Amino acid sequence: MKERHSQVSEAPTLPHRAEGPRPFDVADLYAGAFGEAAPRDTSTQDLSEKLRQAYFWIVNHAIISPFYDIEYLDTPPPVFVLGEHKARVTLPTAQSYSSYVLLPLLNLAARRRCLLVGGPGRGKTAIATLLGLLAGYTQREMKQGIQHGQPQMTIADLLGNPLPSSMVSAKTMDEIQIAWRRWLGMRVKIIDEYNRIPTRTQSALLTVMADDYAEIYDQVYECPPAAWYLTANDDAGGGTYQVIEALRDRIDVVVKALHFNTRFLPELLDRIEGGFRPEDVVPPELVFTPGELDRMDKAIRAVRVPEPLLARIEFFAAEFEFFEPAARQIEYMTKDTVKVTAVPWETFTEGRDVAITGAQTRNGLSVRALMTCLTFAKAMAWFRGHAEVAFEDVRQILPFVLHDKLVQHKDAPFFDAAENAAYRSDLVSWIRALFDRTSAEYDRLGRDQRDPIRDLLADLDRGLDQVDERTVDTRLAAIERALREIEKGGKLYGHLF
């Protein structure tokens, strides 16, 4: 029975995948010179295949998540409309995935910070533990390494204690020796129920998460790059203690624990009768070495983002920061201006146009959020065996990366429409709809064919060396013409701002 539950999917799990980027090899210089092909380095492709095998083992034998909420299509799919609320059920025509397993797995590959949200018993800690085992740790190490949030947790409980002998003999703070907690050196870090940790201890946790070091009595412990997994029973930031905003902002991706499909109850019966847990049957061939984890991270960063797709992401992100009523000077017409001055949002009566996508949020996107979007889009493309990020990779990943980053303006007129009310709670579908809507607008405006600002920036990027005064005047006149065109429109939108 245990052998059946340790089964690894046969490779290739994704046939006909594209070749990924690889490091330059001096042998390439001689490729074809004597009619011989240069040897190909397939190491990164082997790693992406291994990661896919790990995914299928988890969904089939460990967490059992037979869902496809990350859908890919290569041909028109069958669509069914079910129930009174007309739920659309699409049968994906290309390999598709369960976000509950895939996102934590990509988080391991990209070494980022993942929040798992769901009620007790949904398997949040179990999936984080499994990923620690896949990273090469033993069950004992993972159990001892989990930090369980509790109202009494102190900074010493979290980070470590000064040794009493050094406290007595030390003449300076630098001479105090600290017994650091072992979990600080782990490549997979788990914080269970992080919203039960006292505020002061949260601040210490923030330093470790954000800057990869811990500090007590002027003593510093440098932490290695790690994949973080935090769990909470809800995603509202509450708990025994309110989660500080800076700590929530450091979370890169939010994943909701999906429900258990009771059709798979026989699998649970097998575990009872066999006396084992998924942690006991992790296939050894799926365990990653530290070197493989480093190579995965490097391979993900090497995935290309094509310029037209980057322009589309730019257009999407530009919709949210602009808020015209916030100021008289254009540089300060942002939602952040309202936030930092603590002016009640209800004070402003403008900016509630249903047609304006940005009116649905109370904030814009930070630099950190944008970098995280690009990182996970690269990770998704690499996982699928591609050397370049595709539109659908971005569309599928954005809702999970921006889940905690875009603050919904729930009183916006958009949500008053009956067909949009569900978006107040279904943030994944809401963010995906935002991206679809801005993409449609991008196409309507023909931005791939005509973007005056892109042309002006191209001129600017060429620099001013050896440029005469007449050319400078011509460029300045072009900038003024572009502004006149915006002026004629009579209305500002996020992408124009």
Q: How far is CA 271 from CA 2, 9, 101, in A?
A: 9, 20, 20
Question: Three-state DSSP class for 192?
Answer: strand
pLDDT beyond 80 at 151 = yes
The CA-atom distances, in angstroms, between 366 and each of 71, 304, 318 are 27, 22, 11
The C-alpha torsion from 205 through 210 and 216 to 218, rounded to 10°, is -160
Question: 12-26, 64-78, 271-285, 402-416: which range is least confident on average?
Answer: 12-26
d(CA 58, CA 101): 7
**Whole-number CA gyration radius for the chain:** 26
What confidence category does residue 353 fall into, taking pLDDT thresholds of 50, 70 and 90? low
What is the per-residue pLDDT across 87-133, written as a single tens digit (0 to 9) for each? 889 999 999 999 999 999 999 999 999 999 998 888 999 999 999 99
* Most confident stretch, 94-103, 171-180, 338-347: 94-103
Query: What pLDDT sits at residue 161?
Result: 85
Kindly state the percentage of the chain with pLDDT values over 70.
Answer: 89
| 263-272 mean pLDDT | 92
If one counts every other C-beta atom within 10 angstroms of the C-beta of residue 25, the result is 13
- Asked whether the beta carbons of 109 and 297 are under 8 A apart, the reply is yes
Enumerate domains of the chain plus CATH numbers. 99-257 (3.40.50.300), 307-450 (1.10.8)
Residue 86: is its pLDDT beyond 50? Answer: yes
Q: How many residues does the chain have?
A: 497
CA nearest neighbour of 236 among 221, 216, 256? 256
- Inter-CA distances, 195 with 204, 239, 254, 400, Å: 14, 5, 14, 20
Distance (Å, whole) CA 137 – CA 132: 6
Average of per-residue pLDDT across 256-284: 93
Phi, psi of 234, deg, nearest 5 = -150, 165
| Mean predicted lDDT score pLDDT of the chain | 88
| Burial zone of 183 (CB within 10 Å; 0-12 exposed, 13-18 middle, 19+ buried) | buried
**Tens digits of per-residue pLDDT, 285-295?**
999 999 999 99
Is it the case that residue 241 has pLDDT exceeding 60? yes
12: cis peptide before it, omega within 30°? Answer: yes
Pairing of strands 113-117, 160-162: unpaired
